[in-house]
Amino acid sequence: MSDVQQLRFLDRLSRLLSTGYPIVKALEAVKWDEELKSTADIIIHSLKNGKPLDRAFEDADFHTSIISYLYFIRANGDILGSISKCAKMFEDRLKHRKKIKEIIRYPLVLLVIFSILLYFLKASVLPSFTNLFHTNSEASAASVHLSLLIIDISTTFLVVFIIILAFTAVLGRYLKRFVHIEKQIKWYTLIPFYRSFLKMHTSLLFATHFGMMLKTGMPFSKILTYMANQEKLPIIAHYSSLMEGEMKKGLPIYSLLTQMSLLDRQLTSIFRKNADMQELEKDLIVYAEMILEELERKTVKAITLIQPMFFIILAGVIVFIYITLMWPMYQMIQSI
């Protein structure tokens, strides 16, 4: 099931629940859409077998972020509110991803074309130029050799870049599967740019889910227990488990937040100044909205900075190769 279909499923289910349908009847109504019928059948079957809603969505292969969001329905019981917020969250995620794809699409196309051009120049054009100018001028031949050197450097850079991306992807999967979460966090904090984005994302998730759970009137310790028991957000689960243990020793939650390297210090201020549950819930929701906007802004800014740098480097290499090829021809024309 595609991400767009998952969003349509959540939107359809949310609208049906808002009209007063119970969850199973709402899912039955979703089945009127032939594209969503099989997914609704899987979820209905799982619910009738006694599984919670998040497990039912997991059986239907929904995105991890959706499953982690729906997990907290077990505690707050707010199916309509949770699914509506989940749909909004997932819609923002898809818009954000679409924006990133639009920004990087053109540079990637240029990179592919440029790679093909480099291969063609190195394999066919430059050897012919080398043979042509070798007998006429050593300086001209040296110029062509310089072009070959630039092409070799550019090709090596592209290969190394691809290898680094592949290695990073493999390392990320390895860390998540085989390395304990504490060591994962230590690795993440060593990566300069990724560290700041992960910190914002982790703070966003913590504030969002903690704020949702406050509506139930649960004490902090029980909220942390629920957050520690979920499996889809391992960093949140780890931090919640640590804070739960420390709270049992009588430590206030705001003093514990400062010890978590991937949580924003602003969360400490919010928890310190709010003794009232309703005010804390409101502040956490507002904070989550603000940090989501900031996360999107920084992501787009980083990509839009990388894009012109890529164009400048690419244009520089092309112009340099062009000059080194045209200069020997210009010299040969002058000698005629």
Yes or no: say if 44 and 57 are a contact pair by the CB < 8 Å rule. no
Predicted model pTM: 0.74
**62-66, 84-88, 275-279: lowest mean pLDDT where?**
275-279
Handedness of CA 94, 96, 100, 105 (dihedral sign): positive
Token code pair at residue 297: 């802004």
Q: Quick one: what percent of the chain has pLDDT higher than 70?
A: 87
d(CA 286, CA 250): 28
Token code pair at residue 235: 């960093």
d(CA 203, CA 291): 8
44 pLDDT tier (thresholds 50, 70, 90): very high
pLDDT at 10: 92
- Mapping DSSP to helix (H, G, I), strand (E, B) and coil, where does residue 260 land? coil
CB atoms within 10 A of CB 260: 22
Helix orientation angle between 277-335 and 126-134, rounded to the nearest 10 degrees: 30
Yes or no: say if 200 and 294 are a contact pair by the CB < 8 Å rule. yes
Higher pLDDT, 303 or 195: 195
pLDDT at 123: 74
Does residue 36 carry a pLDDT above 80?
Answer: yes
40 pLDDT tier (thresholds 50, 70, 90): very high
Q: Quick one: what percent of the chain has pLDDT higher than 90?
A: 15
pLDDT at 144: 61
12 pLDDT tier (thresholds 50, 70, 90): very high
pLDDT at 145: 67
d(CA 304, CA 313): 15
Q: Average per-residue pLDDT in the chain?
A: 81
Q: Average of pLDDT values for 91-99?
A: 80
pLDDT at 308: 80
Does residue 218 carry a pLDDT above 70?
Answer: yes
Helix orientation angle between 220-229 and 234-247, rounded to the nearest 10 degrees: 150
The string of pLDDT tens digits covering residues 237-280 is 999 998 888 888 888 888 888 888 888 888 888 888 766 788 88
Does residue 94 carry a pLDDT above 60?
Answer: yes
Does residue 132 carry a pLDDT above 70?
Answer: no
Yes or no: say if 12 and 36 are a contact pair by the CB < 8 Å rule. yes
